[in-house]
């Protein structure tokens, strides 16, 4: 599959971002789902790695996805309704306080990112505790065999 490069004057990275955005909006990709890897998208659309990375950067800046090093990119939970409404209005509130709305939207996105990071840290902590317990059991078994 290729992007409609001939029919669409937008840069390829914008087209890839739009493709993923449509999957998110249609529910094909939901909160917490893993985004297809950069390599998968490169092969699917015949694009360079940098092009796909630029698409990911665009979606991250919109608050639609986040990345975890070594694990991939994932769909972020939707913003609360009041934030989505403010962004849908071009980032301006009814009172015309564009800077305040933008700051509020940024605050909500950062709060979500912090919550996501806390969950990741908790998961890593559980994995570390399990690994340490396994190491201790192996150590105890080894010392028991030597005695």
**Residue bearing the bigger pLDDT, 93 or 20:** 20
How far apart (Å, rounded) are the C-alpha atoms in residues 62 and 131? 37
Put simply, whether the predicted model's pTM sits higher than 0.85 gets the answer: no
φ, ψ of residue 68 in degrees (nearest 5): -125, 120
Taking only the tens place, the pLDDT of each residue in 60-78 is 998 899 988 888 999 988 7
Q: How confident is the model at residue 98 (pLDDT cuts 50, 70, 90)?
A: low
Query: Residue 82: pLDDT above 50?
Result: no
What percentage of the chain reaches a pLDDT higher than 90?
Answer: 47
Round to the nearest angstrom and report the end-to-end CA distance of the chain. 64
Query: Residue 102: pLDDT above 80?
Result: no
User: Which residues are paired to 68 by β-bridges?
Assistant: 72
Q: How confident is the model at residue 99 (pLDDT cuts 50, 70, 90)?
A: low
Helix H segments across 74-97?
Answer: 81-88
Q: What is the pLDDT of residue 9?
A: 85
**Residue bearing the bigger pLDDT, 5 or 36:** 36
**Residue bearing the bigger pLDDT, 122 or 112:** 122
Taking only the tens place, the pLDDT of each residue in 47-59 is 999 999 999 999 9
Query: Residue 94: pLDDT above 70?
Result: no
**Residue bearing the bigger pLDDT, 112 or 20:** 20
């Amino acid at each position: 599959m290729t992007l409609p490069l001939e029919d669409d004057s937008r840069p390829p990275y914008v087209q890839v971002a739009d493709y993923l955005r449509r999957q998110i909006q249609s529910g094909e990709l939901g909160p917490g789902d893993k985004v297809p890897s950069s390599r998968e998208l490169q092969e699917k659309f015949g694009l360079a790695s940098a092009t796909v990375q630029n698409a990911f950067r665009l979606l991250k800046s919109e608050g639609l996805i986040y990345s975890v090093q070594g694990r991939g990119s994932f769909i972020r939970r939707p913003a609360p309704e009041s934030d989505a409404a403010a962004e849908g209005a071009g980032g301006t509130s009814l009172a015309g306080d564009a800077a305040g709305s933008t700051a509020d939207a940024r605050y909500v996105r950062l709060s979500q990112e912090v919550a996501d990071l806390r969950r990741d840290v908790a998961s890593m902590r559980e994995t570390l505790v399990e690994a340490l317990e396994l190491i201790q059991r192996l150590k105890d078994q080894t010392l028991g065999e030597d005695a």
